Structure 1
Amino acid sequence: MRLILLLLILLASPVPMASAQVGPSDPPRIITERNGAITNHRVEGSLAPSREIGCIAVAEADNAMTPPDLYIGVRKCLDQDRFERAVELFALAGLYGNFDAMRVTDRSAGQAKTVLIMGTFSTVGPERKDRFRQALERMNANPDSLTALCRSVDRVGHPGYYPAYMILHGMKAFTGNPHDGALAPDFDAAATWTSLRSNYLHCPG
């Protein structure tokens, strides 16, 4: 799986067509935070979850769950030492993040995927990181486990939400209304999902 390469690098250091959905009409609020001599600017809603989920199985997920939601679940699974379940949620979150990055027009917004992963693992201890990596490698090496995961992912389906969390992470959010033309009008959701399922997760068939 391509996700294993990304994880190793980080740990070492038509459902309704989304383009038909409408975002907020007003530009987002920019929040300024100061910590000593450091000033940080962020856009309200950037990387924000839509709900908090527990350490659920992928079979319990639905296509309204965003990557920020799913990575919350990943972190809870890690805290509970449920590494196989963490790997499965991590895979679904990765699929959804890549799907969103391919449908937003502000390419800088796609960096949200990596930021979310880094945030998920930023305070995870080295032992748990290593056990997660081992679980990921086991799944990658076991065709039956991967097939079962792919079946669960297929039941959930591709994203059915508006990816505000990612759109608000892009540079356009600081220069105007990022929701104007935020989603590619010619985006093919079904074809993109099929491609990611095959090339990202390496699902059979």
Structure 2
Amino acid sequence: MRKLLVLACLLLTSCAMQHTVKKPTKATEPAKTTEPGKASSGSVEAKSQPACMPLAAIASTTTPAVIYPAVADCVKAGHYNEAVPLFAVAGAFGRFDQLRVTDKTAWQAIRMLEVRTFSDLAAGERSAFRQALAQELNTEAPDFKKLCVAVARLGPPTYTPTYMTKRGIQTVNNTGNGKLKSDFNAEKGWQQALRGYLHCP
């Protein structure tokens, strides 16, 4: 779990650095919300801005491309009790996808999602979220085991991770098809993601 918290802190710090040099962008229309648990975007970005949602609204068909923006929305609303579980499941789903996608260059999609999600957060929001992560995603935290059970109950993702495969060199250069591993065991991969990323017991 220490590794996860370190990665989260590094991520939020790097986003803070990017935020200070970010150029103004043209105003856009307010983004529409996505029905919780239903979207399955094939790109790194969700087709619309998902609103903050509880972990119960997430399904095995919900991609990280939908979950990460919802995390940011929760943070902006100050709903850290929802943001932390969503962050945990998004990372677990992402790790699962990395385990089953053959083209390792495509794995960067998760990092891209994380950076894009948190780059627009204010410094105070990032700081508060770091504290929430440190408290809740700690193996000694009172409710950590409950979180693990809730995430595990979702089961392995059932969507096709095109948000990731389309970012690989094989797909971009048309030198491969970015297929998933033919011999991949979903149940074993899911357990590996839960233990290796979240450090669930």
TM-score (norm 1): 0.78
2:79 aligns to what?
A: 82
What stretches of structure 2 of length at least 5 have no aligned partner?
A: 15-41
Q: Distance in 2 between matches of 1:49 and 1:99?
A: 19
Superposed, 1:50-199 pairs within 5 Å as 53-141=50-138, 142-176=140-174, 180=177, 182-199=179-196
Taking a change above 3 Å as real, the CA distance of residues 50 and 184 of structure 1, as seen in their structure-2 partners, is: farther
How many residues are aligned here?
Answer: 172
Separation of aligned partners in 1, 2:4 and 2:81: 15
Overall identity of the aligned pairs, in %:
37
Residue 3 of structure 1 aligns with an amino acid whose one-letter code is L
C-alpha deviations, 1:77-107, integer Å up to 9, x for none? 0111111211110110000111111111111
CA distance in 2, matches of 1:96, 1:192: 10
Aligned to 1:3: 4
The structural deviation recorded for 1:175 is: 1.6
Q: Could you tell me which runs of 5 or more consecutive residues in structure 1 were left unpaired when the two chains were aligned.
A: 14-44
- Could you say which structure has the larger radius of gyration? 1
Q: Distance in 1 between matches of 2:12 and 2:49?
A: 24
Partner of 1:32: none
Alpha-carbon distance in 2 for matches of 1:140, 1:173? 35
Please say if residues 43 and 65 of structure 2, whose CA atoms lie closer than 8 Å, have aligned partners that are also in contact: no
Contact 1:59 1:153 in 2 (8 A): no
The answer to whether the Cα contact below 8 Å between 2:93 and 2:193 also exists between their aligned partners in 1 is no
Distance (whole Å) between structure 2 residues aligned to residue 157 and residue 50 of structure 1: 24
Given the two structures, how large is their TM-score scaled by the length of structure 2?
A: 0.79
Distance 1:56 1:177, change over 3 A: farther
Task: Quote the Cα distance in structure 2 between the aligned partners of 1:50 and 1:67.
Answer: 12
In structure 2, distance between residues paired with 1:51 and 1:69? 8
Deviations 1:29-59 (A, max 9, x none): xxxxxxxxxxxxxxxx531336753211112
Aligned-partner Cα distance in 2 for 1:195–1:51:
31
Contact 1:3/1:94, CA 8 A, preserved across alignment: no
Query: SS of the counterpart of 2:84?
Result: helix
**Mapping of residues 8-27 of structure 1, within 5 Å:** 8-13=9-14
Give deviations 1:132-155, integer Å, cap 9, x for gaps: 000001113443321111121122
Is residue 47–residue 165 contact of structure 1 (8 Å, CA) maintained in 2? yes
Q: Residues 104 and 159 of structure 1: is their aligned pair in 2 closer, same or farther, counting only changes over 3 Å? A: same
